């Protein structure tokens, strides 16, 4: 009788340890995915920032992607922020426009793609590349921007699920 109780206890302990190991393995995998995602975003942003500095000859720019009503910043340098340009987006129907904001003149470009719209806002100068060159650049990097968007959407779902799970566990305690 005692032997049977001890054996059941050991079996129960082993199952609990296996469950804890599976949970820890999943959390490690989630953490690694988040670190990889963050590193990828940082590298993409650095690449886009350096290329846009060369192309626009401007120290002030903002590069956004829009899918439906969700807007995400891909690269930013200088004084332009998403809050500065958000009021301009609904009224922006042309592909290129010069805009005055906060006593600053900047150029706004919109490139429509199948799944998203790319927005580039940069301070205007005499040395800027032409709209055609900048649009070609944005089209060239469209695969990277789509990948960032897909990873962002996937990661957002993971973070939401993890957050909800943790909140529910706290409530159940």
Instruction: Concatenate the DSSP letters of all residues of 81-124 into one string.
Output: -HHHHGGGGGG--SSEEEEEETTEEEEEEEEE-SS-EEEEEEE-
Model confidence band, residue 173 (pLDDT cutoffs 50, 70, 90) = low
Report yes or no on 74 lying in a domain.
yes
Find the farthest-apart pair of alpha carbons in the chain and give their distance in angstroms, rounded: 91
DSSP state of 166: H
Long-range CB contacts (within 8 A, 24+) of 10-17 = none
In the chain, the number of structural domains is: 1
| pLDDT greater at residue 99 or residue 170 | 99
The pLDDT of residue 147 is 84
- Position 23 in a domain: no
Indicate the pTM of the whole model.
0.66
Judging by DSSP bridges, how do beta strands 117-123 and 96-101 pair with one another?
unpaired
Higher pLDDT, 83 or 169: 83
Instruction: Give how far the C-alpha of residue 142 lies from the chain's centroid of Cα atoms, to the nearest Å.
Output: 14
Q: What pLDDT does 55 receive? A: 85
Residue 54 within a domain = yes
Helix-, strand-, coil-residue percentages of the chain, each rounded to 5: 60, 20, 15
Whether 170 is covered by a domain: the verdict is no
- Within a domain: 44: yes
Residue 62 lies in a domain: yes
* pLDDT averaged over every residue in the chain: 77
117-123 and 61-67: which strand pairing? antiparallel
Q: Look at residue 37 and tell me if it is in a domain.
A: yes
pLDDT tens sequence across 116-151: 888 888 887 766 678 788 888 888 888 888 888 888
Percent of the chain with pLDDT over 90: 0
Inter-residue long-range contacts of 162-167, CB under 8 Å, 24+ positions, other chains counted:
162/30
List the CATH number of the domain containing 53: 3.30.450
Residue 76 lies in a domain: yes
**For residue 64, what are the domain limits?**
29-155
Residue 146: the pLDDT is 85
């Amino acid at each position: 009788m005692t032997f049977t109780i001890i054996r059941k206890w050991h079996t129960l302990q082993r199952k609990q340890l296996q469950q804890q190991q599976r949970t820890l393995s999943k959390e490690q995998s989630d953490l690694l995915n988040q670190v990889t995602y963050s590193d990828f975003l940082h590298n993409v942003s650095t690449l886009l920032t350096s290329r846009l500095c060369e192309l626009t000859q401007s120290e002030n720019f903002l590069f956004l992607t829009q899918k439906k009503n969700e807007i995400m910043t891909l690269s930013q340098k200088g004084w332009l922020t998403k809050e500065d340009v958000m009021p301009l987006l609904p009224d922006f129907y042309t592909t290129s426009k010069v805009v005055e904001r906060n006593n600053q003149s900047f150029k706004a470009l919109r490139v429509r793609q199948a799944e998203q719209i790319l927005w580039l806002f940069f301070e205007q100068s005499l040395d800027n590349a032409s709209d055609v060159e900048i649009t070609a650049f944005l089209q060239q990097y469209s695969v990277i921007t789509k990948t960032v968007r897909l990873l962002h959407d996937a990661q957002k779902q993971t973070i939401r699920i993890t957050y909800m799970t943790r909140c529910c566990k706290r409530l159940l305690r």
